[in-house]
Structure formats: C-alpha cells, structure tokens
Structure 1
Amino acid sequence: MQHPRQHTISNHRISLLRFLLKYGVPVTITVGLCYMLVKGTDLHEMWHTIRTECDFRWIGANLLLVIGAQVARAARWRLQLRALGIKASLWVLTLSVFGTYAVNLVFPRLGEIWRTGFIAERHRSPFTTVFGSMVADRLADTIAVAIITLATFAMAGPQLMSYLGQNPDRISGILSLLTSPLLWGSIAACTVIAVWLYLRYPDSKAVSSLRNIWKGLWKGFAVITSMRGKWEWFFYTLVLWGCYILGLGCAFMSFPLTAEVITQHGFTALLVCFVLTSLSMLVPSNGGIGPWQWAMIFGLGLYSAGIPGLDKGYMTSFANLALSVQTISSIILGLFTFAWIALDKRSKK
C-alpha cells in the first residue's frame, strides 16, 4: 500500500508534468523559433531597415483594423449571448476579447477559458452555456479560415503546395494517422463504451454531471441556428475577417519591397501570406510568436525572386515589426482591460 506522503509527492509530480506540458512546451517552441529567427541575423541592420524603410502611418492603420476586427468579434458574440438571455454590453465584451489575447500571450489557449469565466461570473450565467457560445464563435472562425484557404488554393495552388511540400514526411505521417485502423477502431470502441455506460447507469452522478455539461455546451453552441439577427451575425463575420486581411495589407504597404509584392502579384500574394500565418497559429506558441514570422518569411519568399533586395534579412525585419506591434498593442489593451475590471469591482464594492 502506498504511503500517503508518497501519494502526495506523486500527485505533485503529475501536476508539475501537466503544467510543463501545457505551458512549458509553447514557451520552448516560441523561444526556439525566435532564436532560429535571429540566429545569423544582423540586429543592427534589421533595426536600420525598420527605421529607414517603414512608413509607420500604415502600421497605425494596421492596428486600427486589427482592433476593429476584435470589436466585430465582440459584437458578433453579443448576438449569440443575447439569444441565450445574457445581455452583455459591447464595451464589456470588447474588453473580454482584449483580455483573451493578452492572456494567450502568457498562457496559450487559456484566454478563451478566461473570457468565458469573466462573462459567466459577471452576468451570473452557467459557465458551460457561455463556453458553448464561445466554441461556436471559434468554430465560425475555423470555417472562415477554411473557406479563405480553399479560395486561396484555387488562386495560388502551386505556392501553397510548395509550402506543404517542405515537410513531406510529416504530411505522410498525418495522412497515415488519419487512415489508421487503430485510430478509428479506438474511437469506435470508446463510443460504444460511452453509450453503454450512459444507457446502463443513466441515474449515476457522473452521467448526470456529463449530461448537464453537454446540455449547457449544446445550448450555447446551437443558439446560432435559431437566434435572431443571423444576417447581422454573418455581416460581423465578414467585417472581422475583412479587417484582418486589410490590416495585413496595410502592414505590407508600410515597407516599399513588401508593397512591391502586392504591386507585382496582386491580392493573391497577400492572401497566401495571410493563409500561411493563420495556419501557423495552430502551432502551440505564445501568441503565435515564432511560427508567425517563419510563415510570413516563407510566404514572402515565394514572390521574392523578381524583387531585388527582398532577402531574408528584409523579410525578417518586416515580419518581426508586424508581429511585435500587434503583440505590444495586445499587452497594452490587456493591461487596460484588467485595470478597468479591478476598478469596476472596487466601485461596485
């Protein structure tokens, strides 16, 4: 029989391991990719390029459009919450979105949980219901990115296939995993066991708790199909992603050589870089730092052959500045959000 003290130590080790896997891996990836990014790069030359080449008026326009996208996200989410009987103000929801991006910089993927908890606590609503509406919000983003990606594939298939072809072993590994009989057999077995437990012990505490959680998630998720203002919701979705794409276009216009990419290759080149950087956010990292720059450098590299001077150093300078400005703005807006929440709570007390 295991001694209680040994059992406690074992639990602490498991908790530490989970913490390291959840937060240590993204930090390690971020630091590693950033190191590879600056390795062999002349930092003085990079700063000189930014200082002499960048038109910061376009960067300002980029920031305004990114903030506009976040406000559109809050407005879209408000429609879903209102259909659930949760009357949150646009101001509070916008602050919750600002806070989400700030939290994700420190704890990747935890920002959405914080946003759900903040709104659920503030409006005394079930966490699972609010979380379900947030899941629907994120699913809509996934579908939007998929549509943009497919459209970009249609217009610039060779460039994107070249990008995917950089890691043929990894792609074949993913395909073999998706077609593995072991994977689908395990999923089928787990499904059968779950259904059997549900039917065999319908009144058990665990099954009741899971049933309540599922009902809350489904209620928040399915409201999008029955709520009023579907066309308004669709409009906010278009505004959201339009702001992101146009914002990246403004960033391109801030440097002469990246602006030349759009001049020579048109809107397709911008979409290719947008898709690559969007897909890079799937890599676990702090706020996309590291993967985002690499994806941008690769995307620009597809069109650099006919543009003298658009080398890796120049592309690195552009990518670092574009993401750094957004990261700094997320930190500032996040600090403002948390300060407002603290002052609001104090005033209510």
Structure 2
Amino acid sequence: MKRVSSILKYSSFLGLSVFLMWYALRELDFERMWVELQQANYIWIALSMAMGAAAYASRAYRWKMQIMPTGILPSFANTYNAMMVGYLANLVLPRMGEVVRCSILKRTDNLPVNKAFGTVIAERFIDMIMLLFCIGLTFLFEFDQVLNYFLGLFSDQYNSLEKSFSSLYLLGIFLLIGIGVLVGIGVLFLSKLRNNAYFKRVVLFVKGMLQGIFSVTKVKNQTAFWGHTIFIWLLYFGTTLVVFYALPATSGLPATAGLTVLVAGTLGMAAPVQGGVGTYHLAVQATLVLYGVPKEAGMAYALLAHTSQTLLVVIMGVLSFIVTMLRPVKPVAMTSETNAPIHELER
C-alpha cells in the first residue's frame, strides 16, 4: 500500500510537471526558439555552471558549520556528498532530498537524523529570509515591472476571489476551533501521554530536531557563517545574470532584471514538482516578457538556465552517490551500561 501511495504521488508530481511544460510551450514558435538556442554563447552557460558549483561547495561548508554545535564533526567531503545526493533525489521526488541527505550523514558520521533534519529546517529558514530580502530589493528597484505583473495576474481573478472571501473566513474559523480542540485534548491527557513510550520517542525526536534548528545560534564563527550565506546568494544572482549574456535577446537587460528573474525562478523552483520543471520556465518566461523579451527568447533563456543547472546537479549528485556508496558504513558505538548508541566524540 505504501509503495502504491509513493507511485501515485510521484506520478502526480510528474504529471503536473509535464502539464506545466506543455502549457508553457503550447503557443510558442519552435523554429524561432530553436534559432535563439543556436545563437547562444555557451561559454556564458559554462561560467554559470561553474558559479553554481561554487555555490554548492559554499553551501556544504556552511551546513558543516551548522552541524558542528550538535557534537558531531563530519568532514567537508561527507557533508558535500550528502547534500548533492539530496539535491539529486529532489529531481526524482520533491522534498525527498532533505530526508535522503540526513540519512546519508547518519550512515557516514552517525549524525542522528532528527538533529540533521533540524539543521536543514534552519537552512531553509535562512534561505527564506534571503529570498524575502531579494524580493524587497526587487520591489525597490523594479517596482513598476513587478506592479504591472501582479496587476495583470490578478485583475481577471479578483471578482471570483471576492465572492470566495466568506467561505475562506468560515474555513478559518473551523480550523481555529479544530486546533483549540486538539490543544485542549492534549492538555487533559498530558499526564497519560508522558508515560506513553511512543510519546517519549516523539519528544526525544523533537528535542534533537530543535537542537539542530538552534545550532545556528551556536556556530562559533558567525561572521564566516553569514559571509557564506551572502556569498551563496550572490552566486545565485550571478548564475542568473551571466545567462543573460548568452542570448542576444537578453544580453542588453539591466542587472536589476536579473534580480527579478532570480526571485521569480526561485519561487518557481519552490513549487512541489520535480526540479521545478514547468513552474520555473513559466515564471521566468512571464518575468522576461515584462522587459520586452519575446516569449520564444524567454523560454530559450529558461531552458538554458534550468537545464544547465539541472545537468550540474545530476553530474555532481551521481559522483557523490558513487563516492558515498564506496565508503564503509560507520559503526555505531554502544555504552557498556545501557547499550545505547553513542558517537565517538561523546565518550
């Protein structure tokens, strides 16, 4: 039953990606788009891939810095390989990569999965802060383009949304009541839950996860940590910008347009589809149209930017997977008194 559920989930995500790609390509002149791709300067694409590789290395080092306060000291190679295999897994099933990379560090360094997952949650939260900062800069420098985009996007849907507000309010009230009931039940039966073995396991898991989440506050070199964070997002901006120069239709766009495309593309990649296929292309194409770029050229840009970075993830992810599988599994140490697993550093 679990396998059937996984297959259905994978198929639904894949079907959504295929539909979105069809929707993005359905009205394009393929001959014109092919001409755009033939005119591309692939030296800029190679530079974009090199910048992407540097961003992954910096991100892996930053993740290593997050993990260290938990008491586990994984090598940079193990951290990097786990992260890249996780990104590779995300191309198969959205959000599966977060679990995969935590499981790999459990295999190579005995890092508890809950602590590892907590560091990933903290990493995602930091990325959200950086994305919001980029959105703020986009509104500051490109307000007219962004305003026109959203006005055109929502003008036709406003009336239908206005009619649905009463239903949304009612749904919100029911959700609040449901949450209140669950909290009340939890308070009434708290004493019994404390003695429940499964509840104790959940509490231990959550404690470990929280330790991972708040590991950011315990990083010794905060300057280096936030320096890597800024460096990563500057490289993301750079990978977006240099692909502009690969196509004649986008080579004259200002740097601020690259910021807008970065935000749109990141939001497209965040959608629950394999590798952002379809959602990224639609978001980027629609954004470039605001700057007068023809749809065919906008799609050519999206295909070049997305395909090159996806190819980079596939190559690096496969190599990391091979290296990880060749490494021996690290044995779990046991205490003499309780036979509970411990890490060598905790002896």
Q: Normalised by the size of structure 2, how large is the TM-score?
A: 0.86
What is the alpha-carbon distance in structure 2 between the residues aligned to residue 27 and residue 286 of structure 1? 7
| Aligned twin of 2:58 | 72
Aligned match of 1:184 in 158, 172, 176? 176
Q: 1:193-249 CA deviation, whole Å, 9 max, x = no partner?
A: 334333443111122111111111111111211231112111110011111011111
Report deviation, 1:343: 2.6
| Aligned twin of 2:338 | none
Is 1:50 equivalent to 2:37 in the alignment? yes
Gaps of 5+ in 2: 332-347
What is the alpha-carbon distance in structure 1 between the residues aligned to residue 167 and residue 143 of structure 2? 23
Report deviation, 1:44: 4.0
Q: 1:125-162 CA deviation, whole Å, 9 max, x = no partner?
A: 21111111111111111111112112222332333333
Is 1:196 equivalent to 2:188 in the alignment? yes
Gaps of 5+ in 1: 1-11, 305-309
What is the alpha-carbon distance in structure 1 between the residues aligned to residue 189 and residue 221 of structure 2? 40
Residue type matched to 2:277 in 1?
A: I
| Aligned twin of 1:344 | 327
Report deviation, 1:20: 4.6
Q: 1:291-345 CA deviation, whole Å, 9 max, x = no partner?
A: 10111111111110xxxxx311111112112111111221111211112222334
CA contact (8 A) 2:264 2:284 kept: yes
Pairing 1:28-107 to 2, within 5 Å after superposition: 28-52=15-39, 54-107=40-93
Work out the percentage of aligned pairs sharing the same amino acid.
24
| Aligned twin of 1:130 | 116
What is the alpha-carbon distance in structure 2 between the residues aligned to residue 21 and residue 153 of structure 1? 39
CA contact (8 A) 1:76 1:233 kept: yes
Aligned match of 1:150 in 132, 136, 140? 136
Is 1:331 equivalent to 2:326 in the alignment? no
What is the alpha-carbon distance in structure 2 between the residues aligned to residue 230 and residue 316 of structure 1? 40
Pairing 1:248-259 to 2, within 5 Å after superposition: 248-259=240-251
Aligned match of 1:294 in 282, 285, 290? 282
Q: Normalised by the size of structure 1, how large is the TM-score?
A: 0.85
Q: 1:168-191 CA deviation, whole Å, 9 max, x = no partner?
A: 459766997488222233233323
Q: Count matched residues.
A: 325
What is the alpha-carbon distance in structure 1 between the residues aligned to residue 242 and residue 326 of structure 2? 35
Pairing 1:106-255 to 2, within 5 Å after superposition: 106-165=92-151, 166-167=153-154, 168=157, 177=168, 180-255=172-247
Q: Secondary structure at the match of 2:47?
A: helix
